[in-house]
Structure 1
């Protein structure tokens, strides 16, 4: 992508690195067998991938400055070595790594040789989180080495499907890179696992407290770490099967617990394009506006949607909290844009495409529009079905995961409900509230003091005000009507 963008000079070349002395050396060395049919160039490529003494630099120069790839990593004290040796290797023999097609062939042969199938997808999911780490060190688990003789009797039917799987992944690589480079979007997708579009903002704790009590019960030190991670993966995948592979990647890279800790503390992320990419609702705003014809009121959640869709003043960005408001609002108390569209029942968000903005003012959809129907799941038509998929049935022979006591978790906490309610209603009435909503905005959870109307005005004053409006001369009424037409 950078190669076709004016002003970018991209380079990728092998680099021999001197291994710095380290106080902590790996306890043991793992030998990686890549097969006897690997040629010299393939051996060098694998050595660059696995060993810390050889790698490659992927950089781009722009405006006189060098930038590295967001997926740049450095293997430090990895304790990996190749069973095969690069005989007579000279650094300058192969100055540039092979292209992506050749590298995919190397990876495919390696996976077939070691009968790796599901591990490919999990490893790819882990690679998506490289930009997420922001330079932090990640300690990856080593798989238990197995001799080829231990699985000679295994069925060979899956060997042919491994290259097919990798080819499918390669076709989706631009989409994976787009998702991976959007760290906030990737975080928002994981946060959507615990989101439920039917939950109102004042009931957030009632929804989340039992969920996190169950999650924290899986942290008991009575079980090995691997068992706790497997139990967590099963729990999160059963909640949202479509996002299961992303959670496996987060668990692999030690990010899952910190992400869940943020959600528990109320630090949720909302990214509407990322929500559309994976078909997982993150906020009540993505549902379609309901029918409100011949009614003097509108559901408050629809009022929010119309304010956001029409980009009314102060409402061009979604609320920080994703939970829907409760109750209804009288149409007479809503903004003009809401009154205009309240009876339409045809408004909603729909994903169109993504574009890379190049430096020469051109756009590149990178195939997004042609593959949209197969890759992008539209949200808004049936958000409840998308967000709340049917859980996978548990086998009768499967032993349920033992849950620890819930006594350590405060199930009566209401802090998240209070924060969500304050934010949601503060987003709606940032400049004041009508008299009919005084009880809501004077509640201790919200406590907004200013108002658009005099709170102490008696009911009789309203009647006097109506009579005063009716006495305005017709000419002035005409000016008001002309102004309203211009606003619309």
Structure 2
């Protein structure tokens, strides 16, 4: 009955779901290779739209200068906010195109746009100049809507008479742009329709080519992926204020153009971005380590948070991006994205009192660990004889409880706490399922992502492969900059001693340890203080 598990799916295919299914939850199938076959995890929610639109502000506080994925000889322009707003439109338009059921599902321009004419004197000084270099009126009209103060466009999905906005739709709040272009604007632009996601994607690449900023285009895409998570963290969206500088000819197009997601590939990232708690799980799980038991979680986390605190307060977050990228290379891009949108400081603040969401499929999709229940930590439980009693680690008991609950009745989801329980347990005091499978080397194998459709039918999603484009890719964020690129951000050296902060007894807070321990043992004993298998006795 032993098996060697292979994590077979690293990306979930959203396109077919978006075309065939209505707003519905999804579930995940794990195959523990036990006689009764597959087990199904409990359903997860998927955010397709919001009732309220999102807005963002511009600030030079955190990422004033773009330091690049490779060391720069001279400073370059910072256009991150422009790219994020462009990606916001592209993902929103893609969602509407895939989910359109009636003519009420659409993207429209609003009679509000950035300044595209000539201004002089004091009036001109109130604007942020941006050279878009286009000779296409339709392209200029799109940029004017994207960079409008307030709202220059909107994407809506109408269901049951209510309008919902895609979770990436974001608009500027309180900033004025003036566009520089190479075309005469006609008196009326009402004849122009908003572009498709593919056309807008081309416009965004044109801008990246004009300013030799394909690296920023990729970084901004990672930032846009984090936008739906701002609501979960209770964080406002703050993008870097743009800075115009001469084009240096860094040839970023040839270096990074193959890493830019196409419109065909976008739905897979949209699923990553919109699955409830998934991005939050990836960020918060970066603080987790497999050898830290639940009762020591606070002792482990506090020094890390205290070390990061001076950098956050001084708004010098580059060392944090580098540190987290080195610690969790496969999600380096998400950390970079969280820094661009202003989410990063809030992540550290939330980590003081909340545990990361345990999302089993997230660990597989991103090839990044998050919990002692991850597939790679399942193994044959070591049995120790202590004073004549056969004992096994309690964390191995928990793994066996989860994997042998084939019907997902009592242990449908893994424990909320990613930190393992401490201590040993007498084998004779474990459940029958644990004792029966104790000699086995069961390991869960990710099988598929199952969409639950409106018509009651299921849609199995076995993932996708990038084939020759990225032959070794196993992570959903692999087409974004890897840690080897992100960690090349140039900053002054930071010594280990400078990161150590003394912790006094008054400052120490054990709340995370208490929550982790309580959640773990509640998973087995429930509110009544008894195990599920003992309730019938």
TM-score by length of structure 2 reads 0.67
CA distance in structure 2 between the aligned counterparts of 1:26 and 1:247, rounded to whole angstroms: 36
Deviation at 1:397, TM superposition (A): 11
CA separation of 1:282/1:159 partners in 2, compared to 1, >3 Å: closer, same or farther? closer
Q: Which residue of 2 aligns with 1:326?
A: 422
Asked if the contact 1:356/1:363 (under 8 Å) is kept, the reply is yes
Describe the superposition over 1:134-173 as per-residue Cα deviations: whole angstroms up to 9, x where unpaired.
497523112321134xx2xx354x333443332x454531
Structure 1 residue 340 corresponds to structure 2 residue 436: yes
- How far apart, in 2, do the equivalents of 1:237 and 1:98 lie? 36
Unaligned runs of 5+ in 2: 1-14, 23-99, 115-122, 385-389, 477-482
- Take 2:184 and 2:400, find their aligned partners in 1: how far apart are those partners? 65
* Contact 1:31/1:82, CA 8 A, preserved across alignment: yes
TM-aligned CA distance change 1:289 to 1:400, over 3 Å: closer
Q: Does 1:165 align with 2:298?
A: no
Partner in structure 2 of residue 290 of structure 1: 379
Q: Which residue of 1 aligns with 2:394?
A: 300
Query: CA-to-partner distance for each residue in 1:297-343, whole Å, 9 max, x for gaps?
Result: 33211110111123375432222211112232222100111111111
Contact 1:16 1:53 in 2 (8 A): no
Aligned residues: 408
Contact 2:281 2:357 survives alignment (8 Å): yes
1:185 aligns with 2:266: no
CA contact (8 A) 1:34 1:110 kept: yes
Aligned residue for 2:448, secondary structure, equals coil
Residue 218 of structure 1 aligns to a residue whose secondary structure is: helix
Give the match's secondary structure for 1:143: coil
- Please tell me whether the aligned partners of residues 111 and 117 of structure 1 are also in contact (alpha carbons under 8 angstroms): yes
Q: Does 1:254 align with 2:342?
A: yes
Q: Which residue of 2 aligns with 1:197?
A: 290
Q: 2:330 aligns with which of 239, 242, 247?
A: 242
Q: In the TM superposition, what is the alpha-carbon distance from 1:182 to its structure 2 partner?
A: 2.2
Distance of 1:53 and 1:433 partners within structure 2: 56
1:92 maps to 190
Instruction: Work out which of the residue numbers 354, 364, 367 in structure 1 matches 2:449.
Output: 354
- 2:519 pairs with 1:423: yes
SS of alignment partner, residue 98 of structure 1:
coil
SS of alignment partner, residue 498 of structure 2: coil
Alignment RMSD (CA, Å): 3.8
Deviations 1:164-218 (A, max 9, x none): 332x454531121111112411101001111111212222233222212211232
Q: 1:86 to 1:93 in 2, by over 3 A?
A: farther
Once the two structures are superposed, the pairs formed by residues 63-212 of structure 1 within 5 Å of their partners are 63-84=160-181, 87-94=185-192, 96-134=193-231, 137-148=236-247, 151=248, 154-156=249-251, 158-166=252-260, 168=261, 170-212=263-305
Q: Distance in 1 between matches of 2:137 and 2:489?
A: 48
2:463 matched to which residue of 1?
Answer: 368
- Identify if the C-alpha distance between structure 1 residues 338 and 174 changes in structure 2 by more than 3 Å, giving closer, same or farther: same
Does the residue aligned with 1:74 lie in a helix, a strand or coil? strand
| Residues 58 and 114 of structure 1: CA distance in aligned 2, closer, same or farther (over 3 Å) | same
Q: Cα distance, 1:271 vs. partner?
A: 1.4
Residues 428, 172 of structure 1: alpha-carbon distance in 2 compared, 3 angstrom cutoff? same
Asked whether the equivalents of residues 141 and 189 of structure 2 are also in contact (C-alpha less than 8 Å), the reply is no
2:41 matched to which residue of 1? none
Q: Does 1:403 align with 2:501?
A: no
Structure 1 residues 398 and 115: CA distance shift in structure 2, 3 A: same
**For residues 406-462 of structure 1, what are the alpha-carbon distances to aligned partners after superposition, in whole Å with 9 as ceiling and x for unaligned?**
24665865443343233323323335479xxxxxxxxxxxxxxxxx8xxxxxxxxxx
Find the aligned partners of 1:420 and 1:367 in 2 and give their Cα distance.
Answer: 33
Which structure has more helix as a fraction of its residues?
1
Q: Is the 8 A contact 2:151 2:171 kept in 1?
A: no
> 2:131 — aligned with what?
33
- For residues 15 and 368 of structure 1, do their structure 2 counterparts lie closer, same or farther at Cα, with a shift above 3 Å needed? farther
How does the TM-score come out when normalised to structure 1?
Answer: 0.73
| Structure with the larger RCO, 1 or 2 (CA within 8 Å, 6+ apart) | 2
Partner of 1:43: 140
Instruction: Give the Cα separation in 2 of the matches to 1:286 and 1:160.
Output: 38
Q: Distance in 1 between matches of 2:256 and 2:309?
A: 36
Q: Which has the higher strand share?
A: 2
Is the 1:205–1:416 Cα contact (8 Å) retained in structure 2?
yes
Shift of 1:354: 2.6
Using the alignment, how far apart are the partners of 1:62 and 1:219 within structure 2? Answer: 42
Q: Is the 8 A contact 2:282 2:362 kept in 1?
A: yes
Q: 312, 315, 318: which is aligned to 2:411?
A: 315
2:421 & 2:155 partners in 1: Cα distance?
48
